[in-house]
Each structure stands twice: as structure tokens, then as C-alpha cells.
Amino acid sequence: GQNIDQPTEMTATEGAIVQINCTYQTSGFNGLFWYQQHAGEAPTFLSYNVLDGLEEKGRFSSFLSRSKGYSYLLLKELQMKDSASYLCAVRDRGYSTLTFGKGTMLLVSP
């Protein structure tokens, strides 16, 4: 079966750095994706990793270790608008289908 774990909730302060972890155990692996979803809105693609290592995109970075089944999303210089749910998703089949974790609700306070 598929198992993707993320913390349910996290809180952080504006301007700080936060790391959201994701561990996975899936029958296959063809990449790990991070999405941001504000309440009532569509998930927005943030970052993906296929190979081990760090991918940086502005204030967001994502890391992958395939041997450990582990990824994290790093958010720097937090802003209030970063308060949202962050979804870790694994592409576990040949098609671009995604299995999502339950999401981490991040609350950024002033």
C-alpha cells in the first residue's frame, strides 16, 4: 500500500524559516511533488524532486533522499500569505498520477 506522512499542523513567525517534512513508503517512485493549497482554492505546484538532493526556487526549496523515503520543503522569509496547507505528493506509477499526503496546515503569525 501507499503511505505518505506529514505533520498535521505547524506554526511559525513572519520572517522565519520553516521546514515541512514528508516521509513516504510507496510501491513505486517516479518523483515527489510539493503543492500549496489555500482554503477553498486549487493546489498550486511549488516544487518537485526526482533525484536526490536540493532544488531551490526562490524562497522555496525542496530536498529528497530516495534511500530514506524522505523529503522536506523549506520556506524562507515567511510571509503571512504563506499560511496554507502544504501537500506532499508522490508519483508512484508510470502515469503522472499522484498520491497525496494528508497535508500540513502552516499558520504564519505576525
Partner 1 sequence: DTEVTQTPKHLVMGMTNKKSLKCEQHMGHRAMYWYKQKAKKPPELMFVYSYEKLSINESVPSRFSPECPNSSLLNLHLHALQPEDSALYLCASSQGAEGINQPQHFGDGTRLSIL
Q: Which residues bind partner 1 (CB under 8 A)?
A: 30-31, 33, 35, 40-45, 48, 50, 87, 89, 91, 94-103
Q: How many CB atoms lie within 10 A of CB 98?
A: 17
Work out how close the CB of 27 gets to partner 1 at its nearest, in angstroms, rounded to a whole number. Answer: 15
Q: Which is nearer to partner 1, 50 or 110 (CB)?
A: 50
Q: Which is nearer to partner 1, 51 or 67 (CB)?
A: 51
Q: CA 32 to CA 48: how far, in whole Å?
A: 5
Work out how close the CB of 84 gets to partner 1 at its nearest, in angstroms, rounded to a whole number. Answer: 13
Q: CA 48 to CA 71: how far, in whole Å?
A: 10
Q: CA 24 to CA 45: how far, in whole Å?
A: 19
Q: Which is nearer to partner 1, 14 or 41 (CB)?
A: 41
Contact in structure between 17 and 82 (CB atoms under 8 Å): no
Work out how close the CB of 44 gets to partner 1 at its nearest, in angstroms, rounded to a whole number. Answer: 7
